[in-house]
Amino acid sequence: MASLKEVRNRITSVNSTQQITKAMKMVAAAKLRRAQDAIIQMRPYAKKLGEMLATVSAGTETAAESPYKQVRTVEKVLIVTVTSDRGLCGAFNTNVIKAAVALIQEKYATQAAKGNVEILALGKKGGEAFLRRGFKVNTDFMDVYTRLSFGVVKEAAESIMADFEAGKYDAVEVVFNEFKNVATQIIRADQLLPIPEAKNDLKTATTSNVNYTFEPSEEQIVTDLIPKTLKIQLYRAVLESNASEHGARMTAMDKATDNAQELIKALRLEYNRSRQAAITKEILEIVGGAEALSQG
Lowest pLDDT segment from 156-165, 214-223, 224-233, 273-282: 214-223
Domains of the chain plus CATH, in order, are 21-253 (3.40.1380.10)
Q: Is the pLDDT of residue 208 over 60?
A: no
Q: Which residues contact 2 (CB under 8 A, 6 or more apart)?
A: 10, 270, 274
* Mean pLDDT confidence for 41-58: 81
Pick 154 or 48 by higher pLDDT: 154
Return the pLDDT at 282.
84
Our CA angle for 249, 100, 155, nearest 5°, is 80
pLDDT at 206 over 70: no
Task: Kindly tell me if the per-residue pLDDT of 44 is higher than 80.
Answer: yes
pLDDT higher than 90, residue 23 = yes
Q: How far apart are CA 284 and CA 76, in angstroms?
A: 80
What pLDDT sits at residue 60?
64
Q: Does residue 202 surpass a pLDDT of 70?
A: no
Q: Does 278 have pLDDT greater than 90?
A: no
State mean pLDDT over 60-80.
Answer: 85
Question: Taking 90 as the threshold, does the pLDDT of residue 119 lie above it?
Answer: yes
Q: Mean pLDDT lowest for which of 14-18, 212-216, 256-260, 269-273?
A: 212-216
**pLDDT tens for residues 233-245?**
999 999 999 999 9
> Above 60 in pLDDT, residue 209?
no
Q: Report whether 83 contacts 125 (CB < 8 A).
A: yes
pLDDT band at 157, cuts 50/70/90?
very high
Just list the catalytic residues. Answer: 89
Q: Is the pLDDT of residue 63 over 80?
A: no
pLDDT at 70: 87
pTM for the whole structure: 0.85
Single out the residue of 162, 151, 169 nearest to residue 73, CA to CA. Answer: 169
- The angle formed by the CA atoms of residues 149, 21 and 178, to the nearest 5 degrees, is 40
Confidence (pLDDT) at 58: 63
**CA 230 – CA 49 distance, rounded (Å):** 10
Higher pLDDT, 193 or 202: 193
User: With pLDDT > 90 as the criterion, what percentage of the chain qualifies?
Assistant: 64
pLDDT at 62 exceeding the cut of 80: no
Q: How many whole angstroms separate alpha carbon 68 and alpha carbon 6?
A: 64
Stretch 113-141: mean pLDDT, rounded? Answer: 94
